[in-house]
Structures are given as C-alpha cells and as structure tokens.
Amino acid sequence: MSGARVLEAQVGIVGAGPGGMAAALHLARAGITVVLLDEGFRAGGQIYRQLPEGYDAGHRISEPPSHRAGNHLLDAVARERIRIVHGATVWNARPGQIYYEQNNESWLLACEQIVLAPGAYDRCVPFPGWTLPGVITAGAAQVMVRGFAVAPGQRALVCGTGPLLLPTVTALASAGVKVVAALEAAPRSAMWAALRGVIGNGARMREALFYARSLLRRGIRLQWGASVFAADGDGRVQSALIGKLDQQGAPRPETARRIEVDVICAGFGLVPAIELGLLLSCAARYDAPRGGHCLVVDEQQRTSVDSVYAVGEIVGIGGAEVAMAEGRVAGAAIAARLTSVSFDPRLALHARSERRAADAMLRAFQLRPGLFSICKPDTVVCRCEDVTSSQAAAAGELYGRTTRGIKMGCRAGMGPCQARICGLNLHDIFCDGVEPDLPVAQVPVKPVRTATMIDVPRR
C-alpha cells in the first residue's frame, strides 16, 4: 500500500468548471493559495469542456458567444498557475479536509476553507428502450463532440427539455451528425416565457439569437410539446418512436411516428450534484424548478457550515454565467476573511441578477407530470439495480410511498450511481403529494477502491 499523500492549501475547491475557476482566480489574485480538484481530465468543467492535450479542431466545433468568457477564464487560471488536480474523485469531506482518489492513490487536501462547485448532471426521464446502448444524455453527446471531437452517430434524435437542448443540437450538427428531429417537451408558450425572463440580460439574449440562427442555417426546426416515446433496436438503438404531448405533458399515441436514428440524446434538465454538501452537513432544500435539492447559501455564497461555500449549479441550476458570478462572490468573501481586503457588495448584486434571469428561464421548462406516463410498467426505472416501474410501484405500495420506502422494498437507488439517475424519477412517478426525501449522504459519495478507504492519509 502506498504512503500517505497530503496536499495543503488555504482554500480547496471541488470542481474546475466556471464557478470553481472564477472563485480560484479571485482567490489567487488576492494572494491566497488554492487547489482545484476535478474528476475530468482537463479544466473547464462540463460546459467549457476542452479537447484532450494534443488535439486541435480549429473552429470546426460550434462555440456559442458565451464560451469566450470561458476561454478567458481558462487562460487566466493557466496564467496564474493555479494548481488543478485532474482525475480526482472526491469521495469524502469534512470541514478542512477533502479526501480524493487519483490514479488509484488515496489523497487528502487539507485546507481552511472549502468551495463546492461540482456542477450538475443530466436529468433522465425513463422511456421504453432507454437502456439500449445508443441512448445517451444530452450532456454525453456534448462530451463526445466538445471533449473528443467525435460524432455520437450519423442520425440523431435530440429530445428532452430546457435551454441545454440547443447547444446539443448545434454541437451535433457541427460534428456532421444529421439531427433527424429536435423535440422540446415544454409547450411553445415556454419559449415566450423564457424569452421574457431574459429580456434585459444582454448575454443571454445574444446566446438565444446565436442558437436561433444556427438552427435556421442548418434547417433544423425545434418542435415544441413533443418527446421521444420509445427507443427500439436489436442490441442498440436503430429507431425511435416520437410524437406530441398533450396539455399535461402526456404522450398522444395517435401522433406517434417512427424515425430511423442510431443515437438518441435525451436531456430533461439538470440535477444539482449536492452530495458532497450533504456529507459536509450543509443545509439543503427542495426546489423543483432549480432541478431538485439545492444547497442553501447566504448572499456571500456561504452554506450553513461556516467554512464551506457553494457556487453554481449546486445552489440551483443556472448555467455558466451564474456560476462564474457566484464563484467570484465566494472568492471575494473568502478573501475578505483571510486578508485585509473588504468584500465588494457589487459582486453579490451582479450574481443575484444573473440568478434571477436563470430562474425565470428554468421556471419555463419545468417537467409536466404527464411526461412520466411515457414510462411503462415494464420499463426499467433504476438502471443500476434493474428495477422496473411495476416493481417500484409495488414496493411503494407495501413499504410506503416515498423514495426511501421504494428503496427498501426493491433496492431501487441502491446501486453505484447512488440514485443520481433514478432518485427524482422515483419521487415524481410514484410518490404523489409528498416532498422528496433528502438524499442520504453516505461515504463514499462516489465509489472508490477499498484500498483508498483503508489508506486514508492523516495529518
């Protein structure tokens, strides 16, 4: 077994996306030592994902205007020589201590303050056939294109809901994929609601315009109030059943039609990755429009735990601009604590206005309950444990209609993804009328080797 490995910094930041990087930059410029931990191979997080070292795609991959800010941030972080630890799977944390596994080694980052910026992951909604290889999340498709310059397929269906569908469509198109259909589950009225929400936010307006233009140029039409009904194929996706949704968001079978595709990219919004925050005992609350359970923070991004700050998606889905603004706030707040500079309240004001614009957008794209009726009794709802919808329903009936009851009755949510994929669905499909149980924070927040847990470095 390897020896103890300890890194030290004044501030430890989890997540090298826009929020984490913005916080790091602010802190580094104030002369504070920071270390960024990220599970990915390069900085940028999910949104400003970079190609691997040694790749050059020129301008072949479509980049919305907002990515310019991301590139600036990446450059600045590199210039300041901020230490980023890549391939770091954080599995445990306490105030002042972050434990991670890297290259099969067990590490400890000892720090005075912690900033959590672990981002979010795609919300999935189960539909018949969604376990077939070839059904991927919208995020997965973006990773293929932006992270590896790989086309996810030749003919794609893009479906789901929310502002992330557009970048997915444009990324696919720029990779040469034929987007056979692009389906937004929300009704067309959501578009107007979203646009009204972002009026006055120049950056968001420019972004919307960029996507509208790039879809138009490629002749792709976004269909509102439509969704995937099923995926089919022999061992992998070969076709999809798609159609329109009614007022409640339920499928209208008479509108169903089959399209030939080899990949289905589905993204029904994003879910905040709050697990580490829960482990640190940070207070959280359920906020459906913001994606699920979110950490509660004050105006300086401080959680209910004094030395732990949270920025970006884990406070509520909001996108890169919100994350960056909040990252700066957390950086400034910590800098004010550790040095003699004072906190500039304008930063907090700016973050709040970005957050407001994001919230307006999110409210327009809430999942409608009918959508869950796409899931049939024999559709798998928990992929890790292979639990079908009817098994989960029976478990809830006997054990209690909560995600905990369902889990006890049929193991749904007990697999390695730790209910990240199925948790909210179990609630939304089976637990009418009760607030979802707060996910249980358990060590490790992501699976790690036994050796890593045995070999914990100590100080």
Regarding 3 and contact with other proteins (CB under 8 A), the answer is: no
Does 2 bind other proteins (CB under 8 A)? Our answer is no
Stretch that binds other proteins, among 201-209, 330-338, 348-356, 395-403 (CB under 8 A): 395-403
Choose among 361, 276, 345, 332: nearest CA to 89. 276
3-state secondary structure of 261: coil
Kindly state the greatest CA–CA separation across the chain: 67
Stretch that binds other proteins, among 133-141, 253-261, 302-310, 362-370 (CB under 8 A): 133-141
CB-based contacts of 373, cutoff 8 Å, min separation 6: 250, 251
Among 381, 421, 424, 426, binds other proteins (CB under 8 A): 421
* By CB under 8 A, residue 134 contacts other proteins: yes
What gap in Å lies between CA 239 and CA 242, rounded to an integer? 10
**44 near other proteins (CB under 8 A):** no
DSSP string, 371-436: GGGGS-TTSEEETTTTEEHHHHHHHHHHH-SSHHHHHHHH-TT-STTTTTTTHHHHHHHH-TTSPP
Q: Which stretch binds other proteins (CB under 8 A): 238-246, 283-291, 329-337, 409-417?
A: 409-417
Binding other proteins (rule: CB under 8 A), the pick from 96, 148, 296, 368 is 148
CB 33 within 8 A of CB 9: yes
Q: Is 305 in the site for other proteins (CB under 8 A)?
A: no
**Residue 459 binds to other proteins (criterion: CB under 8 A):** no
CB of 141 to other proteins, least distance (A): 8
108 near other proteins, judged by CB under 8 A = no
Binders in 226-255 for other proteins, by CB under 8 A: 235-236
Interface with other proteins, residue 54, by CB under 8 A: yes
Residues present in the chain in total: 459
Interatomic CA distance for residues 392 and 403, integer angstroms: 9
Span interacting with other proteins, options 65-73, 198-206, 308-316, 444-452, rule CB under 8 A: 444-452
Cα–Cα distances in angstroms (integers) from residue 327 to residues 25, 117, 149, 320, 349, in the given order: 9, 8, 29, 10, 13
Q: Which is nearer to other proteins, 345 or 447 (CB)?
A: 447
444 binds other proteins (CB under 8 A): yes
